């Protein structure tokens, strides 16, 4: 059994060993890939506790968040007609599925925790992996969590401020952000206290979300079938009489906007890849998780959208950013509005729970890799009631929760706290639109690079064991679409794009400081030296590979 010491004598290269081992390497083959390949999760991996249902709950729990309850407006107003909007929803789901399928292949071939960080490191080396970790940890994960918590805060705020009717004043921004922070820290503390508490809560949130979506579907069908008369405009009946494709937009740019809104609602399909190393049986369960989560979510979203059309006129759907609440008030009056607003905020809190769980682990892996200070790669704290002393003694230290007396837990506390602090920062200062645009450009750039890596890996290491192989068209389609989305983002949001570029450049500097000059530069340096000396023994490859 190979073990990795993480401590003061941190050797970055030793940690990279398993990743550079090739399939022909006897050591590599003799190791059980699911337990010993990789530096990540020295302790967490040993727990190997993630089952199929936990994985499913992490993926579906993050996917169903804010999008299905608030994106329909954007999809509808851009697509122009109910039929076109439904097609966009279907298309977004299938595209997300192509990305997720590509990630299954990667997760099977490189069964490490950390998601794209592990894949990029194996395929393209340390610098791209570091840059992904850097951007994901500092901006993408906390930024997207901030978006979700702000939406949770808005819905909760409108319940407390009695501001559910479309024409009433929205709750004050301070209140929205305070509620957002409350949700965020509640979820973070829960997950710090116990992994089980986090996953259990996730399951409960997921049930509530699924029940809400089923309720929307059933209510829609009842309204459609019985012609049940409702106040506030009543069922549109538009779906009976109208042509579902009348008014469809002819502008490709509008479809890009719609697609982007749809993809946000399906985003989160890579959530389980962050913890593949912790799964009991990744090569069996990873495909099962994705291939059950994706159709489930696609069907739920399509049914919910059809239901919206049964109850509300499409012009209302296109102009209301709180479709679900509008749906509730239309059918049941203000009580319905309150119930649906609560359901949406619970859905967002559930997504926050699912993303907090994996963000914590992403930071933790980066801490272990040496990308971040090693404190972040530690588990738990020892807190004893008698001495009242708290400290991160060693990474095996447990957190003893005084009120529960005998509850001992191990969670990546420092990692989750870093994530929560950054998320709070974005929640407080971030403008919603800026966060969404930044997330789009950065997120799809890395999705593109990672899935491109799958294609590269097929050529470079054809014999690498791949428990799951996707159809080669799948990554190609996904790459084309993500490239298209990134290019739209670049032109649509030049300022945020510049922000992404600057942030990545800062990342290069940080990499240099923490890890050393990037290999390509070292190789170049070595080459120059080689030319100067003109001696083969000191050739560049020896210098370049020395590290």
Give the residues lining the site for ligand ARG (CB under 6 A).
62-63, 65-67, 144, 148, 264-265, 267-268, 351, 355
Residue number, 96 or 131, with CB nearest to ligand ARG: 96
Give the C-alpha separation, 427 to 195, whole Å.
25
Residue number, 82 or 115, with CB nearest to ligand ARG: 115
Q: How many residues does the chain have?
A: 547
Nearest of 198, 156, 202, 197 to residue 175 by alpha carbon = 156
Residue number, 130 or 266, with CB nearest to ligand ARG: 266
Smallest distance, Å, CB 64 to ligand ARG?
7
Cβ atoms within 10 Å of 218's Cβ, excluding its own: 12
Residue number, 65 or 518, with CB nearest to ligand ARG: 65
Residue number, 144 or 322, with CB nearest to ligand ARG: 144
Smallest distance, Å, CB 266 to ligand ARG?
6
Residue number, 62 or 129, with CB nearest to ligand ARG: 62
Residue number, 60 or 379, with CB nearest to ligand ARG: 60
Smallest distance, Å, CB 408 to ligand ARG?
30
Residue 413 CA, chain-centre distance (Å), reads 19
Smallest distance, Å, CB 204 to ligand ARG?
18
Smallest distance, Å, CB 261 to ligand ARG?
10
Residue given tokens 């950390």 in the structure block: 114
Contact in structure between 276 and 112 (CB atoms under 8 Å): yes
Residue number, 67 or 377, with CB nearest to ligand ARG: 67
Smallest distance, Å, CB 274 to ligand ARG?
9
Residue number, 181 or 223, with CB nearest to ligand ARG: 181
Measure Cα distances from 217 to 71, 105, 195, 223, 234 in Å. Answer: 17, 34, 33, 10, 17
DSSP 3-state assignment of 390?
Answer: strand
Point out the residue whose Cβ comes nearest to ligand ARG: 65
Instruction: Phi first, then psi: give them for residue 148, nearest 5 degrees.
Output: -65, -40
Smallest distance, Å, CB 262 to ligand ARG?
10
Smallest distance, Å, CB 22 to ligand ARG?
32
**Burial track 255-291 (b if 16+ CB lie within 10 A, e otherwise):** bbbbbbbbbbbbbbbbbbbbbbbbbeebbebbbebbe
Instruction: Phi first, then psi: give them for residue 383, nearest 5 degrees.
Output: -130, 110
Give the C-alpha separation, 507 to 128, whole Å.
10
Give the C-alpha separation, 257 to 77, whole Å.
10
Contact in structure between 78 and 258 (CB atoms under 8 Å): yes
DSSP code string of 411-473? --HHHHHHHHHHHHHHHHH--HHHHHHHHHHHHHHHHHHHHHHHHHHHHH-TTS--S----TH
Smallest distance, Å, CB 346 to ligand ARG?
13
Give the C-alpha separation, 405 to 313, whole Å.
56
H-run or E-run covering 399 = strand 399-401
């Amino acid at each position: 059994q190979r073990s990795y010491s993480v401590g003061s004598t941190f050797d970055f290269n030793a940690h990279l060993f398993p990743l550079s081992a090739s399939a022909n390497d006897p050591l590599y083959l003799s190791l059980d890939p699911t337990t010993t390949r990789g530096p990540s999760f020295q302790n967490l991996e040993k727990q190997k506790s993630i089952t199929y249902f936990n994985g499913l709950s992490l993926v579906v729990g993050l996917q169903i968040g804010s999008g299905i309850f608030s994106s329909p407006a954007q999809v509808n107003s851009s697509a122009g007609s109910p039929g076109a909007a439904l097609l966009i929803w279907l298309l977004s789901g299938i595209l997300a599925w192509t990305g997720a399928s590509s990630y299954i292949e990667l997760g099977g071939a490189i069964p490490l925790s950390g998601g794209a960080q592990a894949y990029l490191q194996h395929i393209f080396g340390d610098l791209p992996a570091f840059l992904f970790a850097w951007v994901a940890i500092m901006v993408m994960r906390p930024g997207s969590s901030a978006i979700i918590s702000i939406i949770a805060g808005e819905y909760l705020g409108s319940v407390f401020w009695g501001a559910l009717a479309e024409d009433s004043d929205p709750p004050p921004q301070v209140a929205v952000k305070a509620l957002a922070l409350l949700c965020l820290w509640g979820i973070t503390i829960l997950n710090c206290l116990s992994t089980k508490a986090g996953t259990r809560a996730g399951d409960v949130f997921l049930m509530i979300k699924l029940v809400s979506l089923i309720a929307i579907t059933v209510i829609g069908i009842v309204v459609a079938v019985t012609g049940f008369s409702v106040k506030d405009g009543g069922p549109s009946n538009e779906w009976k009489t109208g042509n579902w494709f009348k008014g469809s937009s002819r502008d490709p740019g509008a479809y890009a906007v719609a697609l982007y809104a749809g993809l946000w609602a399906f985003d989160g399909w890579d959530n389980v890849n962050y913890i593949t190393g912790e799964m009991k049986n990744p090569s069996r369960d990873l495909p099962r998780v994705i291939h059950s989560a994706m159709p489930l979510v696609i069907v739920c979203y399509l049914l919910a959208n059809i239901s919206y059309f049964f109850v509300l006129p499409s012009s209302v759907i296109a102009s209301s950013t709180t479709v679900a609440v509008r749906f509730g008030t239309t059918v049941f009056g203000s009580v319905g509005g309150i119930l649906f607003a609560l359901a949406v905020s619970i859905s967002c809190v559930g997504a926050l729970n699912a993303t907090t769980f994996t963000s914590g682990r992403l930071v933790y892996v980066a801490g272990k890799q040496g990308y971040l200070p090693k404190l972040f790669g530690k588990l738990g704290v020892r807190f004893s009631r008698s001495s009242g002393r708290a400290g991160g003694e060693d990474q095996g230290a447990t957190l003893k929760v005084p009120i529960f007396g005998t509850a001992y837990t191990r969670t990546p506390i420092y990692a989750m706290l870093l994530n929560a602090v950054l998320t709070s920062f974005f929640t407080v200062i971030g403008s919603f639109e800026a966060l969404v645009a930044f997330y789009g450009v950065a997120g799809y750039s890395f999705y593109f690079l990672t899935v491109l890596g799958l294609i590269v890996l097929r050529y470079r290491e054809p014999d690498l064991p791949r428990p799951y192989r996707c159809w080669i068209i799948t990554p190609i389609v996904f790459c084309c679409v993500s490239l298209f989305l990134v290019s739209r983002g670049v032109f649509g949001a030049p300022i945020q794009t510049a922000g992404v570029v600057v942030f990545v450049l800062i990342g290069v500097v940080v990499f240099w400081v923490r890890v050393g000059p990037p290999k390509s530069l070292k190789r170049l340096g070595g080459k120059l030296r080689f030319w100067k000396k003109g001696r083969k023994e000191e050739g560049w490859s020896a210098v370049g590979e020395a590290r």
